[in-house]
Amino acid sequence: MQTLQTTSLRVIDNQLFILDQQALPQEKRWLPADSVPLLVEHIHALRVRGAPLIGLSASLLLALLAENGEDRDTLARSLETLRASRPTAVNLMNNLDRMKLALAQEDYVSALLAEALRLIEEDKALCDSIAQAGSTLVKPGSRLLTHCNTGGLATAGVGTALGVIALAHQQGKVTNVWVDETRPLLQGGRLTAWELGELGVPYQLITDSMAASLMAKGQVDAIWVGADRIAANGDVANKIGTYSLAVLAKFHGIPFYVAAPQTTLDPNCPNGEAIPIEQRAAAEVTGVAGSFGAVQWAPENAQVYNPAFDVTPASLISGWVLDSGVVTPEQVSGGYFRR
């Protein structure tokens, strides 16, 4: 495979490397990810994270393993192991379904390579289209609020919700971005703050619990988030804390937009209740860890509930901003995502 570089993925001499998203922003550290156990470990640890990126990294690794001589049966097993690495973001399953079709072809080595590269190029184009469509909804002088990380780190392109915000900022329409730190793993505080800083977009970091009072004070004009899975009725699974923002937005009359590519759609999933929600380790809630070290503040045996995602019902969403354009609540109740 040719040399390849996105914000978070790199291929050199047929080896895959990932940008360690747990080490950012203190350290920019590239780690090898050239075997299935290694990539699965990176995905579990959220060194590789974000719905589109998880799917793209798994697809790229399969293509590289094929090029490096792995046989068809072993690749088929690798594909299923990668598919099971995280349960909620459907981009992984959607991407791997396409890789599975490529694996069934006679010249599966070339087919897997072509498909993985196509997925990367498509993701860049999907992000650009989302940004174009979403930026039309941003009014001049906007103070936007975002949650988790939906930028270039989480995709092969400019990102989803963060891509919208970045383009709207280039168009001179964004005054400030409120960045939820996004407990427990701090994707907002560590990654979104870093990306917005790199892009020169003005932002202020807040703890998740500060969003309500900002809305009450009239300091938030719209909320933009990404998605890990969009069910057929328009319900959206996204990072834990998204649902509370949507409830708050409804109460305060603030538009709540979800930005996602078509790879995040799951027409086979009837509604949010059917979306599998990943439960994660207690240590993520009882303390914090990163390249700065690790600390635990809760009692040693504290009992913990730690779902990585929640579901926002379609009734709380003002618009689904896809690469194909803005989908309205009326379209969604008319069965738009069931097609």
C-beta closer to ligand MRU: residue 144 or 154: 154
Distance, CA of 261 to CA of 328 (rounded, Å):
16
HSE, side-chain direction, 13 A CA sphere, residue 144: 33
- When asked if residue 155 is in the footprint of ligand MRU (CB under 6 A), the reply is yes
Distance, CA of 249 to CA of 70 (rounded, Å):
50
Stretch in the footprint of ligand MRU (CB under 6 A) among 92-100, 148-156, 283-291, 316-324: 148-156
Distance, CA of 145 to CA of 165 (rounded, Å):
10
Q: Which residue is nearest to ligand MRU (CB)?
A: 226
Question: How far from 129 is each of 138, 150, 164, 339, CA to CA, in Å?
Answer: 15, 15, 9, 20
Query: Is 187 annotated as a binding-site member?
Result: yes
- Which H/E stretch holds residue 13? none
- Selecting among 208, 228, 235, 323, the annotated active-site residue is 228
- When asked if residue 145 is in the footprint of ligand MRU (CB under 6 A), the reply is no
String marking each residue 176-205 x if it binds ligand MRU according to CB under 6 A: -----------x------------------
Query: Is 239 annotated as a binding-site member?
Result: yes
Distance, CA of 8 to CA of 4 (rounded, Å):
11
Find out whether 215 and 252 touch, Cβ atoms under 8 Å. yes
- When asked if residue 229 is in the footprint of ligand MRU (CB under 6 A), the reply is no
Contact set for ligand MRU, span 68-87 (CB under 6 A): none
DSSP 60: H
Sign (positive or negative) of CA dihedral 158, 164, 168, 173: negative
C-beta closer to ligand MRU: residue 50 or 272: 50
- When asked if residue 11 is in the footprint of ligand MRU (CB under 6 A), the reply is no
Distance, CA of 299 to CA of 297 (rounded, Å):
7
- When asked if residue 154 is in the footprint of ligand MRU (CB under 6 A), the reply is yes
| 228 included as an active-site residue | yes
Distance, CA of 17 to CA of 35 (rounded, Å):
11
Contact set for ligand MRU, span 39-68 (CB under 6 A): 46, 49-52
Question: Which of these, 43, 47, 36, lies nearest to 75 by C-alpha position?
Answer: 36
- When asked if residue 160 is in the footprint of ligand MRU (CB under 6 A), the reply is yes
C-beta closer to ligand MRU: residue 89 or 201: 89
3-state helix vs strand vs coil in the chain, percent to 5: 45, 20, 35
> What would the two tokens of residue 131 be?
């940004």
Residue from 36, 223, 249, 308 binding ligand MRU (CB under 6 A)? 308
Number of chain residues interacting with ligand MRU (CB under 6 A)? 18
- When asked if residue 95 is in the footprint of ligand MRU (CB under 6 A), the reply is no
Query: Is 94 annotated as a binding-site member?
Result: no
C-beta closer to ligand MRU: residue 94 or 155: 155
Strand, helix or coil for residue 328: coil
- Chain residues that interact with ligand MRU, rule: CB under 6 A: 46, 49-52, 89, 148, 150, 154-155, 160, 187, 226-228, 238-239, 308
Binding site for substrate: what residues are annotated? Answer: 49-51, 86, 187, 238-239
Residues marked active site are found at: 228
